[in-house]
């Protein structure tokens, strides 16, 4: 390639590899959109870039593609009116397979160098991507910037770091010398070549298209696979911008831009299925529903399938120092992006007889009321609430709130409609908080969106057992617990280790259970039904490439 992207980013790569080993705080991509980080004009330029895309043909040339209307509509109340170049699944796989031969031969340094350059350019495009994420997912602007931009880039970089680490440990060439007693040793030259699995597919989700899409995209690309990105029909734009940038870098580096392809499609058609089961597709990364994830695990048998599906995240309330602070932290987790996060809590277990607090005993009702009051306080100012809640991404989530109300459970906090100060048609709702009995079948499923339950249990031991069994059976990405008792904490940790779920203890400050930080927090464990992989670890990258050796006598 004309520019050695690998050397350009070598230091960044080494730093990322180190960070993933120490797991200490680190990020090269500033999470604050401040002009001090991104320059005085970046914010406005990003906004303008987004506005320029609206109502037009998305600027990307793909040989053999026709155009399709994207049909995306902002949860803040307007249509994007963007058309995208489209290839059929068959044509896309054929183009990807054609690009594979040259990409395979480029080798690990080129794969990683190109990946790192793409990430740097994505970082520069963070404002454009922020608007695209906001107006497809419904995230508030600041969250769309952070989660859709730098935090997503962190997760992509993390995947590249793991990929490099695993590939770099394979020596390219060695001399093997086996002693033969008094005779001359046998001497062989051995060469080890890292080869990709083939064509990889990334199936994007509607709520975090970049954050959930980048790990698979970069893990596959950095290990020499070509990648087809199939966005969710309601959230094409953030991944279209991503693919546009990837293709620019590939072209500049002298590779076929078709190494990364976008395959947009209309809702309800069979594009995902056709791509995922294509014999030449060898890797599938998926984030989405349990039903679709399980379908892939069952049917995409020719591929390595990495899925993040639904789960039921739980909270165990045993005892607290400061009930209000705990309730505020929980309320924030329920409110942020209207709970449309795979990590948001849903079932909050509280013993029927109440809990200990530093201020004395608190009854079940007092605990439930504290959470409801914190929700109320957090959404009292409509303008601030609108930013925090964001828009409801899909009609299905809106309908789910009504379905939950129909369960007939007592409403601890009602779901209210909120008006956005800037966007008239925005679809915004505060969280619905219901009171439930342990064992009610409705709480054993995921209620994706702003629906949560305060659940009466017999005791903390009962709560722990319920949390463990629910994670085993229904899956869970997060478990949160509040306890001031070291023995209870130990029992909760043991249950978490048994059920394979990440645990956050006693969060009362500025860290929330639904947040996970790249390089430090594993997102998902792969050890319960919520996900079959973790972001990011060796297992996530090591099977995306294989090693072919050649040996001969010297």
- 2-6 long-range contacts (CB < 8 A, ≥24 apart) are 2/252, 2/253, 2/254, 3/252, 3/253, 4/113, 5/110, 5/113, 5/114, 5/116, 5/117, 5/249, 5/253, 6/109, 6/110, 6/112, 6/113, 6/116
User: How near is the Cβ of 501 to a second copy at its closest, in Å?
Assistant: 7
Q: Which stretch binds a second copy (CB under 8 A): 151-159, 308-316, 462-470, 532-540?
A: 532-540
CA distances from 547 to 169, 193, 539 (A): 11, 5, 16
Any idea which residue has 């100060």 for tokens? 421
Three-state DSSP at 9 gives: coil
Residue 285 makes contact with a second copy by CB under 8 A: no
User: How near is the Cβ of 66 to a second copy at its closest, in Å?
Assistant: 32
Candidate residues 69, 106, 398, 527; the one interacting with a second copy per rule CB under 8 A: 527
Three-state DSSP at 536 gives: coil
Candidate residues 298, 406, 486, 487; the one interacting with a second copy per rule CB under 8 A: 298
How many residues in the shown chain lie near a second copy by CB under 8 A? 64
User: How near is the Cβ of 198 to a second copy at its closest, in Å?
Assistant: 9
> Judging by beta carbons within 10 Å of its beta carbon (0-12, 13-18, 19+), is residue 2 exposed, middle or buried?
exposed
Residue 153 makes contact with a second copy by CB under 8 A: no
Residue 226 makes contact with a second copy by CB under 8 A: no
Q: Is the distance from CB of 378 to CB of 331 less than 8 angstroms? A: yes
Residue 327 in tokens: 């309730």
Q: Which stretch binds a second copy (CB under 8 A): 23-31, 131-139, 309-317, 378-386?
A: 23-31
Three-state DSSP at 193 gives: strand
Residue 497 makes contact with a second copy by CB under 8 A: yes
Q: Is the distance from CB of 450 to CB of 430 less than 8 angstroms? A: yes
Any idea which residue has 């070598």 for tokens? 10
CA-CA distance, 91 to 55, in Å (whole number)? 27
Q: Which is closer to a second copy, CB of 400 or CB of 468?
A: 468
Q: Which is closer to a second copy, CB of 79 or CB of 498?
A: 498
Residue 546 makes contact with a second copy by CB under 8 A: yes
User: How near is the Cβ of 58 to a second copy at its closest, in Å?
Assistant: 34
Residue 543 makes contact with a second copy by CB under 8 A: yes
Residue 335 in tokens: 């409110």
Q: Which is closer to a second copy, CB of 289 or CB of 508?
A: 508
Candidate residues 68, 69, 195, 398; the one interacting with a second copy per rule CB under 8 A: 195
CA-CA distance, 254 to 247, in Å (whole number)? 11
Residue 526 makes contact with a second copy by CB under 8 A: yes
User: How near is the Cβ of 147 to a second copy at its closest, in Å?
Assistant: 16
Q: Which stretch binds a second copy (CB under 8 A): 176-184, 263-271, 369-377, 403-411?
A: 176-184
Q: Which stretch binds a second copy (CB under 8 A): 64-72, 117-125, 448-456, 520-528?
A: 520-528
Q: HEC profile for 468-529?
A: HHHHHHHCCCEEEEECCCHHHHHHHHHHHHHHCCEEEECCCCCCCCCCCCCCCCCECCCCEC
User: How near is the Cβ of 477 to a second copy at its closest, in Å?
Assistant: 12
User: How near is the Cβ of 299 to a second copy at its closest, in Å?
Assistant: 12
Residue 554 makes contact with a second copy by CB under 8 A: no
- CA 317 from centroid of its chain's CA atoms: 27
Residue 500 makes contact with a second copy by CB under 8 A: yes
Candidate residues 11, 14, 18, 21; the one interacting with a second copy per rule CB under 8 A: 21
Any idea which residue has 């645990």 for tokens? 503
For residue 502, which of 469, 474, 526 has the smallest C-alpha distance? 526
Q: Which is closer to a second copy, CB of 88 or CB of 304?
A: 304
CA-CA distance, 208 to 224, in Å (whole number)? 25
Residue 182 makes contact with a second copy by CB under 8 A: no
User: How near is the Cβ of 2 to a second copy at its closest, in Å?
Assistant: 24
Residue 109 makes contact with a second copy by CB under 8 A: no
Residue 358 makes contact with a second copy by CB under 8 A: no
**What percentage of the chain's residues is helix, strand, coil (to nearest 5)?**
45, 20, 35
CA-CA distance, 132 to 129, in Å (whole number)? 5
Q: Which stretch binds a second copy (CB under 8 A): 4-12, 61-69, 260-268, 509-517?
A: 509-517
Q: Which is closer to a second copy, CB of 139 or CB of 506?
A: 506
Q: Which is closer to a second copy, CB of 44 or CB of 176?
A: 176
User: How near is the Cβ of 539 to a second copy at its closest, in Å?
Assistant: 4
Q: Which is closer to a second copy, CB of 61 or CB of 180?
A: 180
User: How near is the Cβ of 508 to a second copy at its closest, in Å?
Assistant: 8
Residue 280 in tokens: 């030449």
User: How near is the Cβ of 514 to a second copy at its closest, in Å?
Assistant: 13
Candidate residues 3, 52, 63, 186; the one interacting with a second copy per rule CB under 8 A: 186
With vertex at residue 535, the alpha carbon angle to CA 534 and CA 536, rounded to the nearest 5 degrees, is: 100
Candidate residues 11, 177, 403, 424; the one interacting with a second copy per rule CB under 8 A: 177
Helix or strand run (H / E) with residue 230: strand 226-230
| Interface positions with a second copy (CB under 8 A) | 21-25, 104, 166, 169, 171, 174-180, 186, 188, 190-193, 195, 197, 297-298, 301, 493, 496-498, 500-511, 517, 520-522, 525-527, 534, 537-539, 542-543, 546-553
């Amino acid at each position: 390639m004309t520019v050695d992207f690998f050397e350009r980013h070598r230091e960044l790569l080494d730093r990322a590899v180190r960070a993933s080993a120490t797991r200490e705080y680190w990020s090269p991509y500033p999470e604050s959109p401040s002009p001090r980080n991104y320059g005085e004009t970046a914010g406005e330029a990003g906004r303008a870039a987004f506005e320029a895309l609206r109502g037009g043909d998305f600027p990307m040339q793909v040989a053999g593609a026709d155009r399709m209307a994207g049909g995306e509509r902002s949860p803040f109340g307007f249509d994007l009116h963007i058309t995208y170049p489209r290839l059929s699944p068959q044509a896309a796989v054929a183009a990807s397979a054609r690009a594979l031969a040259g990409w395979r031969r480029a080798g690990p340094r080129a794969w990683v160098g190109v990946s790192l350059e793409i990430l740097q350019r994505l970082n520069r495009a963070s404002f454009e991507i922020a608007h695209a994420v906001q107006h497809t997912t419904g995230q508030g602007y600041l969250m769309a910037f952070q989660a859709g931009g730098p935090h997503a880039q962190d997760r992509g970089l993390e995947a590249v770091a793991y990929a490099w680490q695993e590939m770099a440990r394979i020596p390219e060439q060695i001399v093997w010398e086996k002693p033969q007693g008094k005779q001359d040793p046998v001497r062989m030259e051995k060469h080890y070549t890292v080869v990709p699995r083939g064509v990889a597919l990334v199936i994007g989700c509607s709520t975090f298209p970049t954050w959930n899409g980048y790990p698979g995209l970069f893990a596959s690309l950095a290990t020499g696979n070509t990648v087809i990105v199939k966005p969710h029909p309601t959230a094409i734009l953030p991944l279209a911008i991503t693919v546009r940038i990837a293709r620019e870098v590939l072209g500049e580096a002298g590779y076929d831009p078709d190494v990364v392809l976008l395959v947009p499609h209309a809702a309800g058609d069979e594009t995902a299925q056709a791509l995922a089961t294509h014999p030449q597709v060898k890797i599938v990364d998926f984030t989405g529903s349990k039903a679709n994830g399980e379908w892939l695990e069952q049917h995409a048998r020719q591929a390595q399938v990495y899925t993040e599906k639904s789960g039921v995240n739980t909270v165990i309330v045993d005892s607290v120092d400061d009930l209000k602070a705990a309730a505020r932290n929980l309320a924030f987790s329920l409110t942020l992006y209207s709970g449309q996060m795979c990590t948001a809590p849903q079932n909050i277990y509280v013993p029927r007889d109440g809990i200990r607090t530093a201020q004395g005993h608190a009854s079940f009702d007092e605990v439930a009321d504290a959470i409801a009051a914190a929700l109320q306080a957090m959404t009292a100012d409509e303008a601030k609430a609108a930013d925090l809640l964001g828009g409801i991404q899909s009609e299905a989530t809106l309908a789910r709130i009504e379905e939950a109300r129909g369960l007939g459970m007592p409403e601890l906090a009602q779901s209210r409609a909120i008006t956005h100060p800037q966007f008239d048609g925005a679809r915004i709702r505060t969280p619905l908080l219901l009171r439930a009995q342990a064992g009610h079948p409705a709480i054993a499923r995921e209620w994706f969106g702003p629906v949560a339950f305060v659940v009466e249990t017999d005791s903390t031991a009962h709560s722990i057992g319920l949390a463990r069994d629910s994670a085993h059976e229904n899956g869970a990405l997060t478990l949160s617990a509040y306890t001031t008792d070291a023995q209870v904490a130990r029992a909760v940790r043991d249950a978490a280790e048994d059920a394979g779920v990440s645990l956050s203890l006693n969060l009362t400050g500025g860290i929330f259970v639904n947040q996970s930080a790249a390089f430090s927090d594993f997102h998902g464990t792969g050890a319960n039904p919520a996900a079959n992989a973790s972001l990011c670890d060796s297992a996530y990258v090591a099977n995306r490439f294989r090693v072919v050796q050649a040996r001969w006598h010297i």
